[in-house]
Amino acid sequence: MMEHASHRLRARRLGIDTHSESVVFLRKDCPVCRSEGFSSHNRVALAAEGHHAVATLYQVESDLLDRDEAGLSDAAWLSLGLHDGSHITVRHAPPVSSLSLVRGRVFGHLLDDAALREIIADIVAGRYSAIEISSFITACAAKPLSLDEICGLTGAMVDVGERLTWGKPIVADKHSVGGLPGNRTTPIIVAIVAALGLTMPKTSSRAITSPAGTADAMETMAPVALEEKKICDVVDKEGGCIAWGGALRLSPADDILIRVERALDIDSPGQMIASVLSKKIAAGATHLVIDMPVGPTAKVRDAETAAILSANLMFVAGRFGLHAQVVLGDGRQPIGRGIGPALEARDVLAVLNCDKDAPQDLRDRALVLAGALLELCGHATTGNGKAQAAAVLDNGQAKTKFERICAAQGGMRTPPVSRYRKEFFASTDGAVSQIDNRRLARLAKLAGAPEDKAAGLELHVRLGGKVTRGGRLFTLHAEADGELAYASNYADMNTDIIQVTQT
Amino acid sequence: MMEHASHRLRARRLGIDTHSESVVFLRKDCPVCRSEGFSSHNRVALAAEGHHAVATLYQVESDLLDRDEAGLSDAAWLSLGLHDGSHITVRHAPPVSSLSLVRGRVFGHLLDDAALREIIADIVAGRYSAIEISSFITACAAKPLSLDEICGLTGAMVDVGERLTWGKPIVADKHSVGGLPGNRTTPIIVAIVAALGLTMPKTSSRAITSPAGTADAMETMAPVALEEKKICDVVDKEGGCIAWGGALRLSPADDILIRVERALDIDSPGQMIASVLSKKIAAGATHLVIDMPVGPTAKVRDAETAAILSANLMFVAGRFGLHAQVVLGDGRQPIGRGIGPALEARDVLAVLNCDKDAPQDLRDRALVLAGALLELCGHATTGNGKAQAAAVLDNGQAKTKFERICAAQGGMRTPPVSRYRKEFFASTDGAVSQIDNRRLARLAKLAGAPEDKAAGLELHVRLGGKVTRGGRLFTLHAEADGELAYASNYADMNTDIIQVTQT
């Protein structure tokens, strides 16, 4: 390849957030575009002082940039390690050979371990554009991944990131398949399990498509964005933590794939299994309980789907030496009352405090899961896990452990309270016959969750519960009046989210 | 929905070319982002003086924009009909309901006519992001479109755009399935067919994945970017034209889908059929000959694929009352010598001029296809079409007709000549045993085709032809030394594009 002095461009940080996809902006009439014959949407290779990145090119025909400037999105700027005064070169990106494997998969050729490793390595290196990732995800959903492919994908996703090690024979972990708003059992389970002397270094995600992830809710009670060293210190000291895993580069491919899955609202079983297990394996777990709520508007909709998914999860986990157990649960309605980071945190604190009006469904689900985990780890005999868990919750040891964990993570704090609220009422007497988890979650998101920690909604009714005309069904919480208006509007147009049947 | 004065933003044209996807740039700390709770990559609804558009939001944390400004890509600016001083409002985009149909298709539910109409209408209205289009395309490739779906897609693509009518019982047309570099028969066929008194208003595309489209090659000989009125005048006067169809909004969905297909390098039979036929039906064709070269590195790789594709093309065409006939051809090597707009135009002119050294394969292929079209239209009896075509080519009538068409389109011109060239030679004595069309096309593109009209390559050998060590295989043509260097580098690393076997 020839180098041209004129191909060096002054790098300019445009401060544009394009997520993980690097974008470069060049004048259409700049020397590089002219001599290289670039056109908009070309994939180009950027280089600066030993750093390389592949970016999508947008051409500019205005005075936004000078002709010797290259404007960079934040992702591009950071991956090249640039600073003011840096220069970069831009050239045609070499063909990404793993894309031909993706095309092959579209047309039905299964991917072996080596192929999946190549694809995942290229994705993490930023060599795929968002539309290429979209095609990969869609292909793996339209023609579901085989069990071998799921294992290959899981292994590839583990290998491309960091791995935590804990030097303990048993490292407990828990995952929820999700889709159930308010299902915030994790902080309670960690507190119980750690109070009983087991190691449970829990790394959680922020919300992806839901109104709150565990990390979002936990962050309203203590810092969660901890460095690896800090996480180790907390776990050394307290036996457990509830931290955000995002800074650790555990299965970094997962974070990239999930952004596109979210935008497409596509969630295929094979990718879900690889996503869950790659994170857990990378986090050093040896024993894993998986919470799988089943219901018509949960992520897993029926018993048959649950059975197949459970079997596949346990099969793939087994291939990696991870002891996994799936605990099915009732997914017909949310768990707890709050939906949204702070509102869910309040439910968690009420259960840990053994408040009289704490949501009993949340308490019970946390005890079932903690019990299953204690039994799986050999800490309780079969059938006795739940009672053992209840004992440390009721005697205050779990609460104390939780407070100590919060303190170790940087200091316990009180969840914030919303500025704007609006209540919604039943239009008839009757009993609650159906609750739509998905639209309820959407409502909480329209109200501002999870970005606004105090936003979301509080549910005042349960399935089968009696209501009277004019009685409260739920309260919206928001931090901005625009969002309260959007959410209210959606609620008014979807009065069947909570169905009341006359009795 | 509530309106806020603060939601009005000053529109600023950033001059960024993002193709058909509208993009809006907002300060992360602007009042709209704060009150609406936007985050980067959100899909947002833009409105200005009665115009509406859906756009992808990129958030900006820099002084690129003021807090009361909205930066717009060209696609967004143009679709909103903005001018200096315009104000726009930005809000959450309403959910696009047809996306749930796409998700259903990913998971295997076929799409009926109404579903396809809804999807295509939303795509043309700009309501799909590129990754959503990518998912639609991939789903329809991974689980191939059924015949009913292909018909539904074709009809939806026709209905969403303009339709031309010619007031003639027979309107001849021709299409090539492509994949064969240099296969530039169209100008010759139009000249022959129009010289014989038939109507052939040919609208052609520019290159999509190839080094030259018919419109690109034709543009080196005459203007092709004609308005509808001008096209009608040319056809009225001369019976035929060879114009660029891009300005006519014939099947506008096709143009959008094809851009993403190109980026993914995915080309599925069902979408190809809908793409070809929707354009031809919208262009008012009644009789269509389809050139289908078959060869290991052509788009159609073997006889079985060709048979299925031909049957499906003719079936779908029949549903729309279009008489279609597929003519299979040898797709093992390029046709003609030149690959690239001007180089192909020179081959066309040589054939029309009946030059002694004109490429005979191009001449023969044009005559076969013109003959088939004459027979299909009932202008020649079976078996006599080719002879009739040869007669008007040999007696100069086709050449005269071509010159008259060029004059009517705005004036005939001479194809440009490249500034930089490099020859490549055989490294051994022998016979040419294999030619890789795909990599040859890639080479011509690396040299700058089709953006640089004079760029591309000239092939000096044919399959089975004898070569001697040091003899010329091909010549690269480029307009910039950077491109010549890229293309040369690729050629040096791919010396097996043209395989010479010792005899």
Residues A226-237 pLDDT 10s: 999 999 999 999
Domain boundary (A92, A117, A139) is at A92
Instruction: Say if residue A348 is in the same domain as residue A483.
Output: no
The CATH number linked to B396 is 3.40.1030.10
Contact A215, A224 (CB under 8 A): yes
User: Which pLDDT belongs to residue A31?
Assistant: 78
State the DSSP H helix or E strand holding residue B89, giving kind and residue range, or none if neither.
strand B87-92
The answer on pLDDT for B2 being more than 70 is no
State the DSSP H helix or E strand holding residue B338, giving kind and residue range, or none if neither.
strand B338-339
d(CA A92, CA A411): 50
User: Which pLDDT belongs to residue B40?
Assistant: 80
B367 compared with B29, residue with greater pLDDT: B367
d(CA A309, CA A317): 12
What are the CB-based long-range contacts (under 8 Å, 24+) for B248-251?
A: B248/B162, B248/B164, B248/B203, B248/B283, B249/B161, B249/B162, B250/B161, B250/B162, B250/B163, B250/B164, B250/B203, B250/B278, B250/B279, B250/B282, B250/B283, B251/B157, B251/B158, B251/B160, B251/B161, B251/B275, B251/B278, B251/B279, B251/B282
Mean pLDDT of all residues in B460-464: 95
User: Which pLDDT belongs to residue A271?
Assistant: 94
Q: Do A17 and B35 touch (CB under 8 A)?
A: no
Question: Which residue segment(s) compose the domain that B123 sits in?
Answer: 98-159
Confidence grade of residue A39 (pLDDT, cut at 50, 70, 90): confident
Sheet holding B430-435, edge to edge: B466-467, B430-435, B498-501
Contact B503, B466 (CB under 8 A): yes
Which of A37, A40, A260 faces B17 most closely, judged by CB atoms? A40
Confidence grade of residue B482 (pLDDT, cut at 50, 70, 90): confident
Size of interface A-B (CB pairs under 8 A): 180
Contact B276, B152 (CB under 8 A): no
Instruction: Say if residue A189 is in the same domain as residue A315.
Output: yes
Q: Which residues of A touch B35 (CB under 8 A)?
A: 480-483
The answer on pLDDT for A339 being more than 90 is yes
Contact B128, B96 (CB under 8 A): yes
Q: Which residues of A touch B486 (CB under 8 A)?
A: 1, 36, 92
CA distance B396 to chain A (A): 39
User: Which pLDDT belongs to residue B182?
Assistant: 84
Which of A34, A138, A448 faces B37 most closely, judged by CB atoms? A448
Specify the range with the lowest mean pLDDT, choosing from A151-165, A459-473, B62-76, B204-218.
B204-218
Q: Do A59 and B17 touch (CB under 8 A)?
A: yes
Residue at A254 is within a domain: no
Specify the range with the lowest mean pLDDT, choosing from A326-335, B35-44, B294-303, B486-495.
B35-44
The structure tokens listed for B197 are 């008194």
Q: Do A480 and B107 touch (CB under 8 A)?
A: no
Say how many C-beta atoms besides its own lie within 10 A of residue A311's C-beta: 12
Instruction: Say if residue B383 is in the same domain as residue B361.
Output: yes
Confidence grade of residue B503 (pLDDT, cut at 50, 70, 90): confident
Which of A43, A67, A137, A264 has the highest number of chain B CBs within 10 A, making it the mutation to test binding with B?
A264
- CA A104 to chain centroid, in Å, comes to 29
The CATH number linked to B453 is 3.90.1170.30
Mean pLDDT of all residues in A80-98: 90
d(CA B174, CA B182): 16
Q: Is B223 helix (H, G, I), strand (E, B) or coil?
A: coil
Give CA torsion, residues A105, A110, A113, A115, to 10 deg: -30
Which of B4, B16, B451 faces A37 most closely, judged by CB atoms? B451
CA distance A27 to chain B (A): 9
Confidence grade of residue A1 (pLDDT, cut at 50, 70, 90): very low
Instruction: Say if residue A457 is in the same domain as residue A391.
Output: no
Instruction: Say if residue A280 is in the same domain as residue A347.
Output: yes
Instruction: Say if residue B391 is in the same domain as residue B431.
Output: no
Confidence grade of residue A93 (pLDDT, cut at 50, 70, 90): confident
**Alpha carbon distance, N-terminus to C-terminus of chain A:** 79
Specify the range with the lowest mean pLDDT, choosing from A323-327, A342-346, B124-128, B296-300.
B296-300
Check residue A275 and report its DSSP letter.
H
**Mean pLDDT, chain A, as a whole number?**
93
Q: Which residues of A touch B37 (CB under 8 A)?
A: 448, 451-452, 480, 482-483
Confidence grade of residue A3 (pLDDT, cut at 50, 70, 90): very low
Q: Which residues of B touch A16 (CB under 8 A)?
A: 25, 58-60, 62, 64
Domain boundary (A365, A385, A409) is at A409
Mean pLDDT of all residues in B325-341: 95
User: Which pLDDT belongs to residue B5?
Assistant: 46
Contact A61, B17 (CB under 8 A): yes
Spatial neighbors of A170 by CB under 8 A, at least 6 apart, are A198, A199, A286, A287, A377, A378
Mean pLDDT of all residues in B210-222: 94
State the DSSP H helix or E strand holding residue B424, giving kind and residue range, or none if neither.
strand B420-425
Residue at A257 is within a domain: no
Contact A376, A370 (CB under 8 A): no
| Amino acid symbol at B53 | A
Mean pLDDT of all residues in A334-362: 97
Residue at A258 is within a domain: no
Residue at B496 is within a domain: yes
Instruction: Say if residue B424 is in the same domain as residue B405.
Output: no
Confidence grade of residue B219 (pLDDT, cut at 50, 70, 90): very high
d(CA B11, CA B84): 8
Whether the link from the prior residue into B450 is cis, omega within 30° of 0, is yes
Residues B463-472 pLDDT 10s: 999 999 999 9
Q: Is B290 helix (H, G, I), strand (E, B) or coil?
A: strand
Q: Do A135 and B134 touch (CB under 8 A)?
A: yes
User: Which pLDDT belongs to residue A4?
Assistant: 47
Q: Measuring CA to CA, how many Å separate A299 from each of A140, A303, A463, B95? A: 18, 12, 18, 20
Domain boundary (A92, A117, A137) is at A92
**Mean pLDDT, chain B, as a whole number?**
93
Instruction: Say if residue B65 is in the same domain as residue B105.
Output: no
pLDDT exceeding 70 applies to what percent of chain A? 98
Residue at B296 is within a domain: yes
| Amino acid symbol at B39 | S
In chain A, the number of structural domains is 3
Q: Do B62 and A135 touch (CB under 8 A)?
A: no
Instruction: Say if residue A399 is in the same domain as residue A461.
Output: no
d(CA A341, CA A345): 6
Residue at B359 is within a domain: yes
Contact B265, B227 (CB under 8 A): no
User: Which pLDDT belongs to residue B98?
Assistant: 96
Which of A13, A41, A138 faces B62 most closely, judged by CB atoms? A13
Query: Taking Cα atoms as reference points, which of A164, A158, A162 lies closest to residue A120?
Result: A158
Please, where are the H alpha helices in B74-211? 74-79, 98-106, 113-124, 130-142, 147-159, 186-195
Say how many C-beta atoms besides its own lie within 10 A of residue A414's C-beta: 11
The CATH number linked to B155 is 1.20.970.10
d(CA A391, CA A397): 9
Which of B138, B267, B445, B476 has the highest number of chain A CBs within 10 A, making it the mutation to test binding with A?
B138
Nearest CA in chain A to B480: A35
Confidence grade of residue A2 (pLDDT, cut at 50, 70, 90): very low
Instruction: Say if residue A237 is in the same domain as residue A347.
Output: yes
User: Which pLDDT belongs to residue A98?
Assistant: 96
Confidence grade of residue A245 (pLDDT, cut at 50, 70, 90): confident
Residue at A351 is within a domain: yes
- From A216, A267, A291, A347, the catalytic residue: A267
d(CA A140, CA A200): 33
The structure tokens listed for B45 are 């609804």
Mean pLDDT of all residues in B275-284: 96
Residue at B259 is within a domain: no
Q: Give exposure, B425-443, as e/b (b: 16+ Cβ within 10 Å).
A: ebeeebebeebbbebbbbb
Q: Is B348 helix (H, G, I), strand (E, B) or coil?
A: helix
Instruction: Say if residue B147 is in the same domain as residue B188.
Output: no
User: Which pLDDT belongs to residue B3?
Assistant: 44
Check residue A9 and report its DSSP letter.
E
Mean pLDDT of all residues in B123-151: 95
Spatial neighbors of B114 by CB under 8 A, at least 6 apart, are none
**HEC secondary structure over A53-122:** EEEEEEEECCCCCCCCEEEECHHHHHHCCCCCCCEEEEEECCCCCHHHHHHHHHCCCCCCHHHHHHHHHH
Residues A101-132 pLDDT 10s: 999 999 999 999 999 999 999 999 999 999 99
Say how many C-beta atoms besides its own lie within 10 A of residue A305's C-beta: 14
Q: Which residues of B are catalytic?
A: 267
Q: Which residues of B touch A489 (CB under 8 A)?
A: 1
The answer on pLDDT for B4 being more than 60 is no
Whether the link from the prior residue into A450 is cis, omega within 30° of 0, is yes
The CATH number linked to B73 is 2.40.40.20
d(CA A13, CA B469): 53
Instruction: Say if residue A229 is in the same domain as residue A309.
Output: yes
